[in-house]
Structure 1
Amino acid sequence: MASRGSSIYKGSDLIHDYSCSKCEENDLNTEAQHFCPQCEHYLCDKCVGIHGDYFKKHVVHGRGDFRKWVGYSMDKCDQHDKELEVHCDDHLELCCSVCVALNHRLCSSISHLPDLARGFLKTEEFKQLPAAVDKMRRWLDKLKNDIMKDQASLNDSYKNILVEILALRKTINKVLDRMERKTVQQLDSMMKDLEKSIKDDLETCAHMNDQLKTMTEQLQQITGNNKETNSYIGF
């Protein structure tokens, strides 16, 4: 399985955060854009297509599901794979040392995370976090159900409109024939656009739901001396 490291140049080769496992077997150096948990392989855009042909039932996570990749750590910077150390109060961002050096040198207020996290586990905000997440997930479930109902209604409307168009077709002349064909084409185009929008909304709801569940589980599993700091970072 590919090893993880910072994106730096070594000689003439670029070392990626995640390199494609299959490309490495052929002595190629390609940045991975996908991860298959069943195979435990990191895959580039080219290799993920080949992988999908052989393993159609495997669920592959893209960069948008980075938290599901092996090696993801809550207390590490997503951009630089360094430990999160401070909070930029100007930009409201968690930062590692590289973030500060590159993007926050001129910021007026930088806070040390252990200082911010001190006593955090006893705050009402943290105690109420599971309930707030549950409420958000219930809202997402309701939104998903409403969208699915809208989709069913849209399908019914589409079928009804199509029936009316076909019935009208029997009573009109050649000029109206051309109008009918144009109307059906416009309706089909509208249907495809709406279906795509609905599909995107459903996927977004499911993705956000999974992320909230994963983050909550990670918060509940935090142990060790840095439990308070890591809990604040997760929050």
Structure 2
Amino acid sequence: MATGLRASVLHAGDFEYDYPCTECQEHGLNSEAVYFCQNCTRQFCGLCIKQHDRFYRRHPILGTEKRDFWGKVKSTCKLHPGEEMMVFCRDHGHSCCVECQKELHRTIRVI
């Protein structure tokens, strides 16, 4: 039984969220973002926003009710944490980072 696990761990999985938590994604975790920091331009799950708020209390935060106002967030690579998804592979139908391009998509066509 999964008692004692935090909600973000219990609800994490192999889902691909429309709004993934930027922090979790960079650390190889997977959870849905429910907050957006306008200063950091990053999306946060409920657990990660608490850590963010410890250091940046005055940053304006938007919740899910204002998703229309969330800004553009950089998407990071699951295989290479910290690397931004910068190119799209038409052959495989998904975005990838420069490292993935070198290693896995040598014949990539950039859009």
TM-score (norm 2): 0.51
Listed as ranges, the gaps of 5+ residues in structure 2 are 1-12, 73-111
Q: Alignment identity in percent?
A: 32
Look up the match of 1:42: 43
TM-superposed CA distance for 1:66, in Å, is: 1.3
Aligned residue identity for 1:45: G
**Separation (CA, whole Å) in 2 of partners of 1:66 and 1:21:** 15
TM-superposed CA distance for 1:37, in Å, is: 1.3
**Separation (CA, whole Å) in 1 of partners of 2:62 and 2:41:** 11
User: What's the secondary structure of 2:60's corresponding residue?
Assistant: coil
Residues 57-96 of structure 1: pairs in structure 2 closer than 5 A = 57-71=58-72
TM-superposed CA distance for 1:48, in Å, is: 0.5
TM-superposed CA distance for 1:18, in Å, is: 0.6
User: Which one has more relative contact order, counting CA pairs under 8 Å at least 6 apart?
Assistant: 2
Aligned residue identity for 1:34: Y
Aligned residue identity for 2:41: E
Aligned residue identity for 1:26: H
**Separation (CA, whole Å) in 1 of partners of 2:14 and 2:54:** 30
User: What's the secondary structure of 2:15's corresponding residue?
Assistant: strand
**Separation (CA, whole Å) in 1 of partners of 2:41 and 2:62:** 11
Look up the match of 2:16: 15
Whose radius of gyration is greater, 1 or 2?
Answer: 1
| TM-align CA RMSD | 1.2
**Separation (CA, whole Å) in 1 of partners of 2:37 and 2:26:** 16
Look up the match of 1:54: 55
User: What's the secondary structure of 1:35's corresponding residue?
Assistant: strand
User: What's the secondary structure of 1:67's corresponding residue?
Assistant: helix
Look up the match of 2:91: none
TM-score (norm 1): 0.25
**Separation (CA, whole Å) in 2 of partners of 1:29 and 1:56:** 25
User: What's the secondary structure of 1:42's corresponding residue?
Assistant: strand
Aligned residue identity for 1:13: D
**Separation (CA, whole Å) in 2 of partners of 1:70 and 1:38:** 10
